[in-house]
Each structure stands twice: as structure tokens, then as C-alpha cells.
């Protein structure tokens, strides 16, 4: 085994891995953004770990239903970053928030200050570039305390790769007691305007201190079609008594690959609403790992995937109850049309001593076509005796009795069908507490379902 | 208003209705009683247009039109309402949105202007009062997480809002406690008008003490074997259904 912190000799590993290791050498040699030495060490460790793990295969249990061969076999180059000019008028229609609000915009993984806005943000709040925070004196202490400390990059080759190439992304810090009035949008734009397939490794660190309140939107979009790969990692730290609504919206191009890890850690009596909306990419894999690490913490993990064409999206969630008296309610609904394939794995671990855990998980999948497919697997691991854990999942077409029920009240067969389908999505949207975000996503979902129905009718 | 002649219907290849004849005129309330498995619910579902049931023989005219040729939604738009024995939960769709969609589908069919959310809520206010509900039920998803009694009340609310010409209540009374039963009966009674009609499909006499029917029919083995006034219901309550069955076998 290669010792941590030292990259392997490139001749030890297969070609595909070699390419990434060689590219890492070039990346590190170029200064890699003048990073502090502690970060350089983490990067070295991460590339070593990636070289050990390699790309996963479908022989591995966690990847049974998702082949990443298209990613492994494509020769991606690191996106040049901020070289493609993006104008404010191009950004406006891409934002989830239409009203003017605070935002940090990233173009091909690099922060774009000219496109970002701090409007309405208290002075003490940080909401900008991770690269800048790593160079600055004050910010880097906080970054050092949290960055790569939560996301399990030692277990995941993709998180390891992101960590190795960690350069920029969002850095958000809400100091104790501050309540953000407006949602903060982190917009990651892939330009897709390069000669060949590009990859970005955007990294986000969101730290919400004790008693603070915030709504954050992590939003992925593209300017153009074209094959590119986003390999994102976000670490979200919710301190004692903090309350966070976190919206993660993936609206990449239908030709893109999107692999992501979201890792959250919650303190005592905190609340986290983690909402995941997956609409884009040809192939998407999202690992969500949440840790309830303080007594009385509450988590709502609420996800929706709407897929069509030949889209494939795999959500792999792990909720870890590490302390007693915590509640986690997980709901994922999938609407799958045409030849789309949705995969959901919901693992819940109740650690010894995490008594009075209240955990509920449901995953419902609606198949709108006979060629669509969904795989759903719950995994409960309970090591405490005084807990309440339930789970359930369904996969199937629209309920014929429900259709008849709606028609018997005067709705046409077509309206009944679209209402039932919309209801599947609306159930998830209904749990989003920020009306301004919920309503926008509601419109996005309606547009999406309508265009899907129009395609079916054509 | 409704004229059923020699109706034969089956589900999953099993014949349930074996020649039902029934005539309902405007202003009337009919009760259809009978033992379990006699075909009461099948009759209600066939009139509603449930796709699982097939009609092999017979005819049903509603205001002179061929009801069996109509899609379920067209039956509703023409003024037929079936209250379900087991109302379906619709996740993610609020009661208010569902009710307004239904009302507007019917209004559109009649050539009337569709109602906006605010206008609709105004009209809903007194209907809610009748069934003893506050508006919190409107923002809940349709029947989702509702108790058995709440689901039945919701059916009656839909009926009150849609104002059908012909309402068919499929065992709306079963599984209700006495207060809910009174509310349901009271609402049905209040909605009676000379120009509409009600068919109560029920297993029990109980509801008929609150809604006096003009006619009582006994369904047995897929046929109406006895018809009479409301006294027949009382007789059934005292004697049970066996004497009817024996009588039918003799006849």
C-alpha cells in the first residue's frame, strides 16, 4: 500500500489512472493556486488514494447499477477556467432566483467576481471564492478546520479526485447568530465551450455557525451542450442550533456527466433541510452523506429526480445517526420517462448509543414508459435498541384507480395523468420551506413535465 | 333521469350483475340494499365508468343519453357523481386545487367561465361549513393521511361542490361513527332538490333513518329482487336478507 501523502509511481497503475496522476503532477507543479502547505499535503494524499481506488466498477456493491465506464474512457482535460467570457445577461436566465439576491457565480469551476453579488448580505458573512479564502489569513483558518475533514474522500475515488484537484469553488461562512434574509445562490456554470471534453472539480465549503440561519442554493447549469464532466464535492457544516435550508439543483446539459458528493454534519438541536433536485446530465451520480452529530438534531433529506431520454441518475444516500434524540426524514421521488433509469440507495446507520432515533425513509418511483427503469434499495443498520426506523419504496406506473378517480370528477384522461405526475413531484416540493425557492422550482418542474408530455404526445 | 335496463356486467371475467332494471326520476331518493357480494358496488362502479368493469348486455340512459358510451369524465361533466367506497389518496395535490380543477372542467363543459382561486374559495366557504370543516382540509393533499371518516366527508364535500344531477353514494355510510354519519346524511338531505336525484348504495339501515328514501330496492345475486317504500328497509333491518333470497329462489 502506498503511504498516504505520497503519490504513487506512475508505472504502478493502469493507463487511465496514470493520466490523472500525471495531470496532477502538472497541476501541482504549476503552483495550483498558491495553496497553503496543509492543503498541498491533503491533495497529495488524495491523488494517492485515487490511484489506489481507481474508477469503480459495477462489481462493487455501491456501483451495481451505475457504470462509470463512459467517464473513465473519456479523455477529459481540466477546464481552463474563467477564460471563456460570460456576460451578466447570459447569467440572468440561468439563475434559479430571478429576483436580485446575493449570489456567487462560478464559470468552469472558477469564481467570477464580476458576475457575483453580495446584495443584502451582512458584512460579516463570507460568500465567495474558496481559492481566495485559502490565500487569505482569516478565512484559511476556518477552511483548514473544515475543508476535506468531512467529505469521505478516503472512501470515494471521485471525492478523492476532487480533493486532489481542489482549487476553487464556493466558500460560505455565516457567523453565529446571523440570519440571512434572502437565499444565497451558488451558481456553477459549465461553458462547454472547449475543443474537447473538459472536467471541473468544484469544491464548496459552507459553514453555518451556532444559532445562525440561512438558505443556500447550490445550482449546476450549462451554457451549451457538449460533453463535459462536473466532479463536485460540497461540505456543509451546521453548528449547534443553526437552521439551514440547503437546495441542490442539478440542471446540467443532457450530454454531461455529473458526479457529486454532498457531506453534511449537524450539531446539537440544529435543523437541516437538504433538498436535492436532479434534472440534468446523461449520467449522474450523487452521494449524500449526512451525520447527525449532536443531540436533538433534525434532518429532512428530500429529493426529486425527473429523468427522460436515456438519462441515468443514481442517488446514494447515507444518514448516520451518531447521537441520541435525532430525527431524520428522508423522501425521494423519481419520475422516469422514455428509457431513463433511476437508482436510489438509502442507507441509514444508527450508531450504538443513538437512542430515541426517529428515522423514516421512503422512495417512490413513477414509470411513465414501459422502457423506463428504477432500482430502489433501502439498507438499515441499527446498533441501538430504542429507535423508531421505517422505510418503504415503490416502483410502478400511474395508479389506474387514481386515474379513474380523477376522471370521475370531470378531469380528462390527459389532465388526470399530468396531475398525478405533477403530484409526485409536488409532494417533494411541498417540503421546501422557502417559498421563493419552492415556487421557482415548481415552475421548473412544470415546464419539464409539460415538455416531457409534449414529447410523448408527438 | 336514469333508466337502467337488463344490465349485465362483469369484472375479471366474473359476471356480477345479471340483469338489473331500475328507473330513477328527478327529485327521488333511491336506496339500494343487499347482502355483501350482491353487486351493489359493482352497480355504482359501472355507472361511474370504472375501466375494470365490462358491460355485456343491457342499456343505461341518463337524461336520454347513452351513459355507457361516455368516458368517466364525460359522465361527470353531464352531472353524474359517484362517491367512492374507498376514496383514493392523491399525493402532492391539494384538496383545493383538485376541487377547483374538477369544478372548472365541468364549468368549461357547460360553457361557463372558469373560476380563479380566490373566486373559488369564496364559493367553497359555505360548503365547508355544511360538512363541519375548516379550510385547513383544503391545503392538505387529497385524502392523503385522511382517516376513513375524513375520506367519506371529503367525498360529500366534492358532491356539494360539484352539484351533480345524479349522485350515487357507494356505501358512504360504512365505517362512519354516528356524528360523521349524521353530517353526511344531513348534507345529502340538504342538497336534495326537485331537479336532482340520489341513489344510496348501502348495507345498513342506519343511514336511512336520517335520509328518508322514496324507494328501497333489494339487490341479490346481481338482480333487483324486491322493491318497495321505506318500510321495506325497516323490514330488512328486522328480518335480515335471507327471507328475500329464499323468496327470490322460489320466484
Contact A415 B91 (CB under 8 A): no
φ, ψ of residue B20 to 5 degrees: the values are -95, 135
Contact B197, B28 (CB under 8 A): yes
Mean pLDDT, chain A, rounded, equals 92
In which band, very low, low, confident or very high, does the pLDDT at A412 lie, cut at 50, 70 and 90?
A: very high
A426 with B93: Cβ contact below 8 A: yes
Confidence grade of residue A165 (pLDDT, cut at 50, 70, 90): very high
Question: What are B176-211's pLDDT values in tens digits?
Answer: 888 888 888 888 888 889 999 999 998 888 888 888
pLDDT, position A6: 52
Residue B168's closest chain A neighbor by CA? A408
Distance, in Å, from the CA atom of A98 to the CA atom of A92, rounded to the nearest integer, reads: 7
Backbone CA torsion sign across A79, A84, A88, A89: negative
Per DSSP (E only), the strands in A118-200 are: 126-129, 169-174, 184-190, 198-200
Any bridge partners for residue A291, and if so which? A265, A320
Residues of B in contact with A401 (CB under 8 A): 88
CA–CA distance, B245 with B251 (Å, rounded to integer): 10
- Per CB-CB distance under 8 Å, the chain A contacts of B47 are none
Q: At what angle do helices A15-29 and A37-53 cross, to 10 degrees?
A: 170
Where in B80-129 does DSSP place strands (E)? 80-83
Pairwise CA distance, residues B74 & A204, whole Å: 54
Minimal Cβ distance to A400: which of B51, B109, B162: B51
Which residues of chain B are under the pLDDT cut of 70?
245-251
Q: The C-alpha cell of A120 is what?
A: 443584502
Nearest to B92 among A404, A408, A425 (CB): A425
| Model confidence pLDDT, tens digit, residues A58-74 | 999 999 999 999 999 99
Instruction: Sort out which chain A residues have CB atoms less than 8 A from B106's CB and list them.
Output: 410
Exposure string for A209-225, b = 16+ CB within 10 A, e = fewer: bebbbbbbbbbbbbbee
pLDDT band with cut points at 50, 70 and 90 for residue A139? low
Name the residue facing A411 among B52, B87, B102 (closest C-beta). B102
Please count the other Cβ atoms lying within 10 Å of the Cβ belonging to residue B114. Answer: 13
Contact residues on chain B for A430, CB-CB shorter than 8 A: 92, 141
Q: Provide the pLDDT confidence category of residue A3 given band limits of 50, 70 and 90.
A: very low
Task: Give A433's Cβ-side CA count (13 Å radius).
Answer: 16
Contact A208, A93 (CB under 8 A): no
Q: Does A406 reach chain B within 8 Å, measured CB to CB?
A: yes
**What number is the ipTM of this complex?**
0.94
Cell of A248: 441542490
Q: Phi/psi of residue A208, each to 5°?
A: -115, 115
Nearest-angstrom CA–CA distance, A340 and A291: 31
Q: How many CB pairs under 8 A join A and B?
A: 82
A411–B49 C-beta distance less than 8 A: no
- Report the C-alpha gap between A147 and B2 in whole angstroms: 74
Cβ <8 Å between A409 and B102? yes
d(CA B173, CA A213): 49
pTM for this predicted structure: 0.89
Amino acid at each position: 500500500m502506498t503511504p498516504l501523502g505520497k503519490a504513487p509511481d506512475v508505472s504502478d497503475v493502469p493507463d487511465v489512472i496514470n493520466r490523472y496522476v500525471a495531470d496532477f503532477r502538472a497541476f501541482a507543479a504549476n503552483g495550483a493556486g498558491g495553496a497553503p502547505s496543509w492543503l498541498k499535503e491533503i491533495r497529495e494524499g488524495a491523488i494517492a488514494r485515487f490511484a489506489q481506488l481507481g474508477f469503480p466498477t459495477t462489481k462493487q456493491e455501491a456501483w451495481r447499477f451505475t457504470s462509470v465506464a463512459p467517464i473513465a474512457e473519456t479523455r477529459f482535460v481540466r477546464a481552463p477556467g474563467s477564460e471563456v467570457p460570460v456576460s451578466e445577461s447570459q447569467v440572468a436566465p440561468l439563475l434559479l432566483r430571478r429576483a436580485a439576491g446575493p449570489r456567487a457565480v462560478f464559470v468552469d469551476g472558477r469564481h467570477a467576481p464580476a458576475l457575483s453579488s453580495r446584495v443584502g448580505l451582512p458584512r460579516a458573512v463570507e460568500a465567495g471564492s474558496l481559492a481566495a479564502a485559502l490565500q487569505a489569513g482569516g478565512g484559511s483558518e476556518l477552511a483548514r478546520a473544515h475543508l476535506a475533514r468531512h467529505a469521505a474522500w478516503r472512501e470515494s475515488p471521485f471525492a478523492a479526485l476532487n480533493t486532489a484537484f481542489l482549487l476553487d469553488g464556493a466558500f460560505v461562512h455565516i457567523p453565529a447568530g446571523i440570519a440571512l434574509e434572502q437565499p444565497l445562490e451558488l451558481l456553477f456554470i459549465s461553458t462547454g465551450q472547449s475543443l474537447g471534453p473538459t472536467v471541473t472539480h468544484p469544491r464548496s465549503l459552507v459553514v453555518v455557525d451556532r444559532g445562525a440561519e440561512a438558505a443556500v442554493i447550490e445550482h449546476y447549469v450549462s451554457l451549451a451542450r457538449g460533453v463535459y464532466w462536473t466532479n463536485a464535492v460540497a461540505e456543509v457544516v451546521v453548528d449547534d442550533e443553526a437552521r439551514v435550508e440547503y437546495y441542490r439543483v442539478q440542471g446540467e446539459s443532457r450530454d454531461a456527466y455529473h458526479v457529486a458528493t454532498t457531506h453534511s454534519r449537524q450539531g446539537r438541536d440544529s435543523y437541516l433541510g437538504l433538498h436535492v433536485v436532479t434534472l440534468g446530465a446523461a449520467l449522474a451520480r450523487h452521494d449524500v452523506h449526512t451525520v447527525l452529530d449532536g443531540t436533538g438534531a433534525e434532518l429532512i433529506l428530500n429529493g426529486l429526480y425527473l429523468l427522460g431520454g436515456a438519462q441515468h441518475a443514481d442517488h446514494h444516500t447515507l444518514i448516520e445517526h451518531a447521537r441520541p434524540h435525532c430525527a431524520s426524514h428522508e423522501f425521494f421521488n423519481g419520475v422516469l420517462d422514455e428509457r431513463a433509469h433511476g437508482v436510489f440507495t438509502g442507507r441509514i446507520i444508527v450508531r450504538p448509543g443513538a437512542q430515541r432515533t426517529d428515522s423514516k425513509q421512503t422512495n417512490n418511483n413513477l414509470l411513465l414508459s414501459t422502457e423506463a427503469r428504477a432500482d430502489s434499495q433501502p439498507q438499515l443498520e441499527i446498533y441501538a435498541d430504542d429507535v423508531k426506523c421505517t422505510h418503504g419504496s415503490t416502483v410502478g406506473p400511474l395508479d389506474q384507480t387514481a386515474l379513474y378517480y380523477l376522471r370521475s370528477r370531470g378531469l380528462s384522461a390527459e389532465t388526470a395523468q399530468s396531475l398525478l405526475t405533477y403530484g409526485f413531484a409536488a409532494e417533494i416540493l411541498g417540503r421546501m420551506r422557502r417559498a421563493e425557492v419552492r415556487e421557482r422550482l415548481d415552475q421548473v418542474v412544470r415546464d419539464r413535465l409539460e415538455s416531457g408530455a409534449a414529447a410523448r404526445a408527438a | 333521469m336514469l333508466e337502467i335496463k337488463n344490465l349485465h356486467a362483469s369484472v375479471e371475467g366474473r359476471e356480477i350483475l345479471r340483469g338489473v332494471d331500475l328507473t330513477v326520476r328527478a327529485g327521488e331518493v333511491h336506496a339500494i340494499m343487499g347482502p355483501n357480494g350482491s353487486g351493489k358496488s359493482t352497480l355504482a362502479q359501472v355507472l361511474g365508468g370504472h375501466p375494470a368493469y365490462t358491460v355485456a348486455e343491457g342499456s343505461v340512459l341518463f337524461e336520454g343519453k347513452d351513459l355507457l358510451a361516455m368516458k368517466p369524465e364525460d359522465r361527470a361533466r353531464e352531472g353524474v357523481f359517484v362517491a367512492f367506497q374507498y376514496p383514493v389518496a392523491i399525493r402532492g395535490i391539494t384538496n383545493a386545487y383538485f376541487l377547483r380543477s374538477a369544478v372548472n372542467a365541468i364549468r368549461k363543459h357547460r360553457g361557463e367561465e372558469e373560476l380563479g382561486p380566490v373566486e373559488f374559495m369564496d364559493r367553497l366557504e359555505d360548503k365547508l361549513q355544511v360538512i363541519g370543516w375548516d379550510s385547513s382540509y383544503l391545503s392538505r393533499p387529497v385524502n392523503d393521511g385522511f382517516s376513513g371518516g375524513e375520506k367519506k366527508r371529503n367525498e360529500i364535500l366534492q358532491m356539494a361542490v360539484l352539484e351533480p344531477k345524479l349522485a350515487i353514494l357507494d356505501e358512504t355510510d360504512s365505517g362512519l361513527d354516528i356524528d360523521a354519519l349524521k353530517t353526511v346524511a344531513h348534507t345529502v338531505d340538504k342538497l336534495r332538490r326537485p331537479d336532482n336525484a340520489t341513489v344510496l348504495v348501502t348495507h345498513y339501515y342506519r343511514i336511512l333513518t336520517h335520509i328518508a328514501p322514496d324507494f328501497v330496492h333489494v339487490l341479490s345475486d346481481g338482480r333487483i329482487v324486491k322493491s318497495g317504500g321505506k318500510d321495506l328497509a325497516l323490514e330488512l333491518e328486522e328480518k335480515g336478507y335471507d327471507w328475500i333470497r329464499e323468496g327470490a329462489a322460489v320466484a
